Amino acid sequence: MSYPYQIESYEAYQSAWKQSVEDPEGFWGKVAEHFQWRRKWDKVLSWNFRDPDVKWFEGGRLNITENCLDRHLERYGNYPAIIWEPNHPDEHHRVLTYQQLHFKVNQFAHVLHNNGVRKGDRVCIYMGMIPELAIAVLACARVGAIHSVIFGGFSAQSIADRLQDAQAEYIVTCDGAFRGGKDIPLKSVIDDALIACPFVKRTIVFTRTRTPVSMIKGRDVWWEDEIHKVETLGNPPFPAVEMDAEDPLFILYTSGSTGKPKGVVHACAGYMVYTNYTFVNVFQYKPGEVHFCTADIGWITGHSYIVYGPLSAGATSLMFEGIPTWPDAGRFWDIVDKFRVNILYTAPTAIRSLMAFGLGPLQGKQLDSLRVLGTVGEPINEEAWQWYNEHVGKRNCPIVDTWWQTETGGVLISNMAGVTPSKPTYATLPLPGVEPLLVDEHGQEIKGNNVSGNLCIRSPWPSVIRTTYGDHERCQKNYFSAYPELYFTGDGAMRDENGFYRITGRVDDVLNVSGHRIGTAEVENAINMHAGVVESAVVGYPHDIKGQGIYAYVIFSEMHGDEELTRRDITSTVSRIIGPIAKPDKIQFVKGLPKTRSGKIMRRILRKIAEGETENLGDTTTLLDPSVVQDIAKGRLTH
């Protein structure tokens, strides 16, 4: 397989970008010809960002799994599609060739169908990082069902919220998941979630950890038993369901500035074309190479750059079940050497956590197969960038700093490995099809270079968010109303003298903790669930490893006894309501919160205090009771 649309020089990038914005239809129409369609599209693009209403490849019909699997079989059937490395280094790894993956996806598509799943049904997938997770995702796409993968770290309550929002009647899960030294009882979390979701008809459970589970008669079935039923039928291939280009492919929930996560919806064709295009171009993938994206498939990075991007390109995608620091901090490097990984795509937080172990874990590792390094999820600091470059890439591997979001489906701003220039801590230039701009708070475009502002995008790329599930108005309000006719990213950015972009972080009430997006309002809601809590306010503060830590100011009614114990109670409440990823790092008990006369919490002040600034807190005269500020500053937690 070669990629006729792979850009191989800076000049080719410049001309592709120019063409893509002058004639998006001509540009993307050409790229899309390299995919397998049941019916060709009538129109490449029609759109407005007011409603918003965006349609790519209208009239086209396809099934994404034919592009990820079937079309590779003849020539590349024996190529590895997925290499899986288990959590425990002593357990055997697995390799699934395209042929084998195709077989397993077809088998499981039958299982889904036999259990009642039909086109358009929502299927929630809550599993650890095992090949069956990718198989379940692809099998949903094969039958035309809409998958909604939920990261294994989310709590029963979070799952229930998402199941209800999507009205998902089917669930695929595991008995448990291994993650480092832990064994997470996934099925029992699902059982707790389902108390609030009586509409769920079927739960299919894969055996991974042999953790005891309770199976509810009529609702729960074992994956293995269901596969056995298909085997006795002789394993016929499952005819891929023909989808409209704009039919939804999946929902993925993500946090915003309100208390309720949004179900971001992506559509079949545009998402396929764009994830493939960006995979091939950003990483400069060469057939036969091993691509290792360390994300979890529960996040968008895993969807786009473990599953759909690489597989649609016939690539070899490495999936890792464990964590970078277990059993020791050399785990990534061992995996790179074991499978001769060529592309390593990870998050700044992982790099920083490995840096903290010093150079010892890198000793004796070859890392000579590496050709390209990538980062995603949060701004990378200079120190982490240099460390990655020097000690992992041996100054020999371009680093791609890829900026994008759940809502964008694929990378929007990034250098292309070895093809376009890179600059430490800069995502650099927009990919073809992407027109970024900076605006001030009044929505005026900020032109020229060496400027900062709010990052917007002017026109649609093929994998732009189509809607938020069940609530189109919310999509309009969240992304398309702050600045008329523009997509607003929620990020701030600067543009340097060369026109390179550097993303500085969120400008809304969304935190980025270890590369995970968490809404402050969500954490506050969870804290407020604790019986003794009167009110709370949550802000982010700089954290050496996590990028941002969570600082909570809490008004507690009648504190009896141990503050530390109360802190632990509150933390475990958050863990139960959202999941361990949202646990506050610091909880300060306060008597009051700085509020304006209209009752709005002045987070700017709380943020400053959390960051360590206790003197210059700006104008506090508009506050209802300015004296609370001094009390809060005095009680600031330093550890």
Residues lying near ligand PRX in the complex (CB under 6 A) are found at 254, 300-301, 376-379, 401-406, 427, 489-491, 503, 505-506, 512, 517
Cis preceding linkage at 86, omega within 30: no
Question: What CA–CA distance (Å, rounded) separates 214 from 322?
Answer: 26
User: Considering beta carbons, is residue 451 or 559 the nearer one to ligand PRX?
Assistant: 451
Show the 3-state SS of 274-315.
Answer: HHHHHHHHHCCCCCCCEEEECCCCCCHHHHHHHHHHHHHCCC
Q: Which is nearer to ligand PRX, 408 or 566 (CB)?
A: 408
Nearer to ligand PRX, 106 or 489 (CB): 489
Least distance from C-beta 381 to ligand PRX, angstroms?
A: 11
* Minimal distance, residue 300 CB to ligand PRX, in Å: 5
Residue placing its CB nearer to ligand PRX in the complex, 105 or 457: 457
* 330 vs 433 by CB, closer to ligand PRX: 433
Least distance (Å) from ligand PRX to the CB of residue 340?
Answer: 26
Minimum CB distance to ligand PRX, residue 526 (Å): 19
Which residues are within 8 A (CB) of 481 and not within 5 positions of it... i.e. 6 or more apart? none
Burial of 543 by CB count in 10 Å (0-12 exposed, 13-18 middle, 19+ buried)?
Answer: middle
Q: Residues with Cβ < 8 Å from 635, sequence gap 6 or more?
A: 588, 589, 590
Q: In the bound complex, which residue of the shown chain has the CB atom lying closest to ligand PRX?
A: 406
For residue 589, give the nearest of 525, 513, 518, 537 by alpha carbon: 537
Strands 122-126 and 248-254, bridge-based pairing: unpaired
Q: Please say whether the dihedral angle defined by the alpha carbons of residues 32, 239, 243 and 113, taken in this order, is positive or negative.
A: negative
Kindly state the DSSP code that residue 237 receives in the 8-state scheme.
Answer: P
Within 469-553, residue ranges assigned H as helices are 472-479, 520-528
Between 111 and 503, name the residue whose CB sits nearer to ligand PRX.
Answer: 503
| Pairing of the two strands 343-346 and 451-457 | unpaired
Torsion of Cα atoms, 90 then 132 then 470 then 166, to 10°: -90
- In the numeric block, the tokens 């340097």 are attached to 496
- One-letter amino acid of 494: M
Residue 334 structure tokens: 């061992």
Three-state secondary structure along 371-406? CEEEEECCCCCHHHHHHHHHHHCCCCCCEEEEECCH
- Minimum Å gap between C-beta 277 and ligand PRX is 16
DSSP labels, 92-144: PPEEEEHHHHHHHHHHHHHHHHHTT--TT-EEEEE--SSHHHHHHHHHHHHHT
Cβ neighbours for 179, distance < 8 A, ≥ 6 positions apart? 87, 128, 152, 321, 322, 323
Query: What is the nearest approach in angstroms of ligand PRX to the Cβ of residue 347?
Result: 8
Spatial distance between the Cα atoms of 181 and 634, rounded to a whole number of angstroms = 40
**Smallest distance from ligand PRX to CB 111, Å:** 30
Nearer to ligand PRX by Cβ, of 208 and 502: the residue is 502
If the CB atoms of residues 516 and 583 are measured against ligand PRX, the closer one turns out to be 516
What are the beta bridge partners of residue 252? 264
Q: Which is nearer to ligand PRX, 238 or 253 (CB)?
A: 253
**Contact (Cβ atoms closer than 8 angstroms) between residue 637 and residue 569:** no
Q: Which two tokens stand for residue 332?
A: 């990534």
Based on CB atoms, which residue is closest to ligand PRX, 405 or 536? Answer: 405
Q: How far apart are CA 132 and CA 174, in angstroms?
A: 9
- CA dist., res. 584 & res. 592, Å (int): 19
Pick 259 or 492: Cβ nearer ligand PRX: 492
**Nearer residue to ligand PRX within complex by CB, 129 or 629:** 129
Q: How far is the CB of 481 from ligand PRX (least distance, A)?
A: 17
- Quote the least distance from Cβ 135 to ligand PRX, whole Å: 23
* Least spacing, CB of residue 327 vs ligand PRX, in Å: 27
Shortest distance, CB of residue 422 to ligand PRX, whole angstroms?
12
Q: How far is the CB of 394 from ligand PRX (least distance, A)?
A: 22
Q: Tell me whether residue 179 or residue 262 sits nearer to ligand PRX (CB atom).
A: 262
**Closest separation between CB of residue 488 and ligand PRX, Å?**
11
